[in-house]
Structure 1
Amino acid sequence: MFPTRILYATDGSPTADLARSRVVDLVRRTDAAVHVVHVALVSPWTNPHPLGPGQRERLQLEARAVLEAGVAALEAEGVDVTGAHLRSGRATDEILRLRDEIDADLIVIGSRGQNAFVRVLLGNDAEGVVRHAPCAVLVVRSEEIR
């Protein structure tokens, strides 16, 4: 009925911050374990050439900072984070792969509410997660944030 393992996906955006607030609310009501994931986007669309060692290191440092900020924000709200996971690749695939690994029963993710053209051209992580997740997904969205 109530989630026991929550996977919170963050990209450091304002909508991810809103999603984090929902995670805090859920944990206060359910005492669920929380895992946090950030996916460093590495794909042929964003990086058509293989990354050099310096580029890969910079990407990892930037991604780790986003993950650590998400964990720190949860901990500042009194939430114990069970696991922090840094992944690289396509966000939808990595979020769903981690969901399977930790057997999360709820994924919480923010959505920027992109228009149809942007979703078709670039994809939409929240939409992909909703379509393919074998568990409940809470998509947090704000009309004011675009």
Structure 2
Amino acid sequence: MLQQYNNILVAVDGSFEAETAFHKAIEVAKRNQAQLHIIHVIDTRAFQDVSSFDSSMVEQVTETSKKALTEYENTAKENGIEQVITSIEYGAPKTTIAREYPTQHQIDLIMIGATGLNAVERLLIGSVTEFVTRNAPCDVLVVRTDLEGKSVKNHPKRK
């Protein structure tokens, strides 16, 4: 018997890897007639280091995120996804994507782009993707290829 996914989560951050995961998530959601959850996590820890914390910075980042999520939602609906939920979350991306959001929304599949970090960056800050694969309460699909099956790692559109 094939696994039927009902609630698919894809986290977007503006990276090429996340964009690729988003497009694959649309296809998987269509095949499963699933609800697609598209989230963007604003890492609030980045604002704690700013000596003169200004709430307008958070508002500006939030506004930019809202616009991007609206575009993602429109793209998903244009591609046949009927049930799309978008959300801006605040906190640590690792725990939000791996534990908090999936638990609160009965997510049964997380689709996430393969890390864009090099070995030194992974050592210092850790990979969100790696953390999610180790800690999520549901299945995780790490997207490493585009819709044509070409590797994302050395893709010409990757920045």
Q: TM-score, normalised by structure 1?
A: 0.88
**Equivalent of residue 123 in structure 1, options 126, 146, 157:** 126
- Who is 1:133 aligned against? 136
Q: Which amino acid aligns with 1:53?
A: S
Count of aligned pairs between the two proteins: 145
Q: Which amino acid aligns with 1:25?
A: E
Are 2:30 and 1:20 aligned? no
- Who is 1:107 aligned against? 110
Unaligned residue ranges in structure 1 (runs of 5+): none
Distance 1:28 1:56, change over 3 A: closer
Q: Is the 8 A contact 1:74 1:81 kept in 2?
A: no
1:63 Cα shift? 2.0
Q: Is the 8 A contact 1:37 1:84 kept in 2?
A: yes
1:134 Cα shift? 1.1
Deviating more after overlay: 103-112 vs 78-87? 78-87
1:59 Cα shift? 1.8
Deviating more after overlay: 75-84 vs 26-35? 75-84
Q: Is the 8 A contact 1:6 1:34 kept in 2?
A: yes
Q: TM-score, normalised by structure 2?
A: 0.81
Q: Is the 8 A contact 1:12 1:70 kept in 2?
A: no
Residue by residue over 1:108-134, the C-alpha shift from the partner in whole angstroms, topping out at 9 and shown as x without a partner, is: 111234222111212211111111001
Root-mean-square deviation (CA, aligned residues, Å) is 1.8
Secondary structure, counterpart of 1:39 in structure 2:
strand
- Who is 1:143 aligned against? 153
